[in-house]
Amino acid sequence: MAYVVPRPNLTWKEKIYLPSIVAGMAITFKHLKRMIKGETHVVMQYPEEKWDKSMPDHYRGAPTLVTDEHGRERCVACQLCEFICPPRAITIKPEEIPADNKFAKVEKRPKEFEIDMIRCIYCGLCEEVCPEQAIFLRKDYAITGITRAEMVHDKAKLYELGGVFTGLVNKWNPKK
DSSP element (H, E) containing 63: strand 63-65
Q: Does 106 bind another protein (CB under 8 A)?
A: yes
Q: Does 126 bind another protein (CB under 8 A)?
A: no
- Near another protein by CB under 8 A: residue from 59, 60, 61, 79: 79
Q: Which stretch binds another protein (CB under 8 A): 60-68, 71-79, 117-125, 140-148?
A: 71-79
- Near another protein by CB under 8 A: residue from 65, 80, 158, 161: 80
Amino acid identity for residue 144 in this structure: T
Nearer to another protein, 165 or 172 (CB): 172
Angle ∠(165,46,161) on CA atoms, nearest 5 = 20
Q: Does 67 bind another protein (CB under 8 A)?
A: no
120: exposed, middle or buried (C-beta count within 10 Å: 0-12, 13-18, 19+)? Answer: buried
Q: Does 116 bind another protein (CB under 8 A)?
A: no
Total chain residues near another protein (CB under 8 A): 19
Contact, 89 vs 122, CB < 8 A? no
Contacting residues for 168 by C-beta, under 8 A, at least 6 apart: 68, 74, 133
Q: Determine the longest span between alpha carbons in the chain, in angstroms.
A: 83
Q: Does 127 bind another protein (CB under 8 A)?
A: no
Length of the chain: 176
Q: Does 108 bind another protein (CB under 8 A)?
A: yes
- Near another protein by CB under 8 A: residue from 59, 61, 78, 103: 78
Q: Does 76 bind another protein (CB under 8 A)?
A: yes
CA 60, CA 119: separation in Å to the nearest integer? 15
Tell me, what DSSP letter sits at residue 111? E
- Near another protein by CB under 8 A: residue from 83, 101, 163, 169: 83
Q: Does 66 bind another protein (CB under 8 A)?
A: no
Q: Which residues bind another protein (CB under 8 A)?
A: 76-80, 82-83, 94-96, 99, 105-108, 131-132, 175-176
